[in-house]
Structure 1
């Protein structure tokens, strides 16, 4: 099974409601779709979101990475030469982790198809169902409380609450949500790098003193402030999850060695795909640290790849893969089934994607 062509396109999927964080606000998913075609007729699918505020990647940079480097490197290669393919992909261009992730997942898709096995079973097959949280965008406290109630009515029992816009309001936001949903719902919060270390500790400890029972806080300080992250981890009553601080296996190693966080978040778009994510899971297993698996604001192709990884590895204990359920529609045929909080992985070979409606191909 040899690679004969790589096609690029774009999908546009509207969101149910605008997605707001401390870093950005968007109303639709506008992602790049990658199709790797082979001489056997098999197609592998990948996806990359242009998330400049986080990964630094834009639509133009993703397309440029493929046209100038990745396509030239990969076309003509045999899918069976998997390790060499991954080495070539990861060395053909510096950074561009989302573009690499899109190619990576399409290669895994084809590798599973080659041997007629789902990727999650190829990687370990720990389970076939997972439970995700759902994100509550940052707004005024009353609106966030209403959104939280709506999520509970849809069956969710874990909320990921965005904070960090006007830190003075963050505790008030959480008080309103906890009052609205009661004490049986797990609440984790995501500051998206919005706080300074001492400020983070003050806010987090205030939240716990008010009996808000916060499960964890995601990336409270700037991504590269490892010392600040460690300060929060050492002084906060709330467990700390490193997210934007982890763009590679090397980043994860640094954080684990420093004990700068209690948990590590894996996102395929940050680390460059499943191949590199597996290195992070192995390190976490060695030191006894649990992982979350998360996503950017992505449609089902790339989130589906993350589902396969989550279902393969038991060290991934926390799931934040709500991208598809935040979308108003699903143009993706096949792949995992997203039934609100319950996600069931596909047992079809590879990643199980059969086709995508509405792709606008680039020349």
Structure 2
């Protein structure tokens, strides 16, 4: 089964409501879909989502990296030579993690189809259902509390609350949400690098003192501030999770070595895809550190890939794969289906993607 072509096409998806964090605001989610075709006619699908403020990748840079560097390095290779292909992808260009992730996902989709198994079984087959949280964007305390109530009514048991804009206001935001949903709903916070180390400690301790019962706080300080992250982790009771500080397996090694965080958040767009995600999770598990599988504002192809990976690995103990529930009209069928707060994995070969609709239909299997 040799790779004969790599095609790309952009898809844009309107969100149900604007997605707001300490870093950006998004109303429309773009995704560059990759279609990787083999000489047998089999197709592997991948997807990349531009998140310039985190990965530095844009639609134009992703497409350029795939077309000019990554695709030429893999066309003609046999899908069974997966390790060799992944080395080609990794060495095709530095950085460009979203572009690499898109091709990586398509390669794994095709590889699993070659052996006619669902992707989650290829990764270990730990489970077929993944429970996800859902994100509450940064807004007024009152609006965030109202959003929280609606999400709980829709079946979500864990809420991921965006903070990091103003420490004092963040406390009011979290209090409003906790008061609105009661003690039985799990709350996670994501500061998206928005605090200083001292502000983070002061804010988190205040929430601890007020009994908000926060499960974890994600990336409270700048990604490059590993010392600051470690300082916070060592000085609060609430578990701290690294996100933007973790891109590569090497970043994982440094975080583990420094004991800078309690939990690691793996995102395929940051680490370059499933191949590196496996390396990161294996290192973390070896050190007794649990991982979350996260996402950008992505297409269902990217979410399906992340969910299948989580479905294979027991050390992935948490999931933040809510993008599939943030999109107003889903243009992709198959891969994974949403049932309240759970993602149900497809038992079809590979990712199980059935159809991708580009304004009337394209890439239809």
CA RMSD in angstroms comes to 1.0
Give the equivalent residue in structure 2 for 1:95.
95
Give the equivalent residue in structure 2 for 1:28.
28
Query: 8 Å contact 2:167–2:200 — kept in the other structure?
Result: no
Q: CA offset at residue 355 of structure 1? A: 2.0
Q: CA offset at residue 340 of structure 1? A: 2.6
Give the equivalent residue in structure 2 for 1:267.
267
Query: 8 Å contact 1:325–1:340 — kept in the other structure?
Result: no
Aligned to 1:18, the other structure's residue is in SS state strand
Q: CA offset at residue 299 of structure 1? A: 1.5
Question: Which digits, 9 at most, give the CA deviation of each residue in 1:184-234, with x for residues without a partner?
Answer: 000000000001111100000001111111100000000010000000000
Give the equivalent residue in structure 2 for 1:280.
280
Q: CA offset at residue 164 of structure 1? A: 1.1
- Tell me, in whole angstroms, the C-alpha distance in 1 between the residues paired with 2:38 and 2:334: 20
Give the equivalent residue in structure 1 for 2:151.
151
Aligned to 1:30, the other structure's residue is in SS state strand
- Tell me, in whole angstroms, the C-alpha distance in 2 between the residues paired with 1:199 and 1:113: 49
Deviation beyond 4 Å, 4+ runs, structure 1 = none
Give the equivalent residue in structure 2 for 1:44.
44
Structure 2: gaps spanning 5 or more residues = none
Q: Which stretch shows the higher mean deviation, 216-225 or 325-334?
A: 325-334
Aligned to 2:54, the other structure's residue is in SS state coil
Q: CA offset at residue 80 of structure 1? A: 1.1
Aligned to 1:51, the other structure's residue is in SS state coil
Q: CA offset at residue 285 of structure 1? A: 1.1
Q: CA offset at residue 166 of structure 1? A: 2.4
- Tell me, in whole angstroms, the C-alpha distance in 2 between the residues paired with 1:7 and 1:354: 17
Give the equivalent residue in structure 1 for 2:208.
208
Question: May I ask how many residue pairs the two structures share in their alignment?
Answer: 361
Give the equivalent residue in structure 2 for 1:317.
317
Query: 8 Å contact 1:337–1:345 — kept in the other structure?
Result: yes
**Normalization by structure 2: what TM-score?**
0.97
Q: CA offset at residue 167 of structure 1? A: 2.4
- Tell me, in whole angstroms, the C-alpha distance in 2 between the residues paired with 1:209 and 1:167: 15
Give the equivalent residue in structure 2 for 1:240.
240
**Normalization by structure 1: what TM-score?**
0.98
Give the equivalent residue in structure 2 for 1:256.
256
Aligned to 1:189, the other structure's residue is in SS state strand
Give the equivalent residue in structure 1 for 2:308.
308
Aligned to 1:9, the other structure's residue is in SS state strand
Aligned to 1:308, the other structure's residue is in SS state helix
Give the equivalent residue in structure 1 for 2:118.
118
Aligned to 1:135, the other structure's residue is in SS state strand
Question: Which digits, 9 at most, give the CA deviation of each residue in 1:62-104, with x for residues without a partner?
Answer: 0110121011111111111111001111111101001000000
- Tell me, in whole angstroms, the C-alpha distance in 1 between the residues paired with 2:290 and 2:67: 37
- Tell me, in whole angstroms, the C-alpha distance in 2 between the residues paired with 1:152 and 1:214: 17
Q: CA offset at residue 143 of structure 1? A: 0.3
Q: Which stretch shows the higher mean deviation, 346-355 or 267-276?
A: 346-355
- Tell me, in whole angstroms, the C-alpha distance in 1 between the residues paired with 2:237 and 2:320: 22
Q: CA offset at residue 237 of structure 1? A: 2.1
- Tell me, in whole angstroms, the C-alpha distance in 1 between the residues paired with 2:168 and 2:59: 35
Question: Which digits, 9 at most, give the CA deviation of each residue in 1:302-359, with x for residues without a partner?
Answer: 0100001000000000110001111111111211111231111111111111220016
Question: Which digits, 9 at most, give the CA deviation of each residue in 1:252-304, with x for residues without a partner?
Answer: 11001110000000000000000000001111111111100100011200010
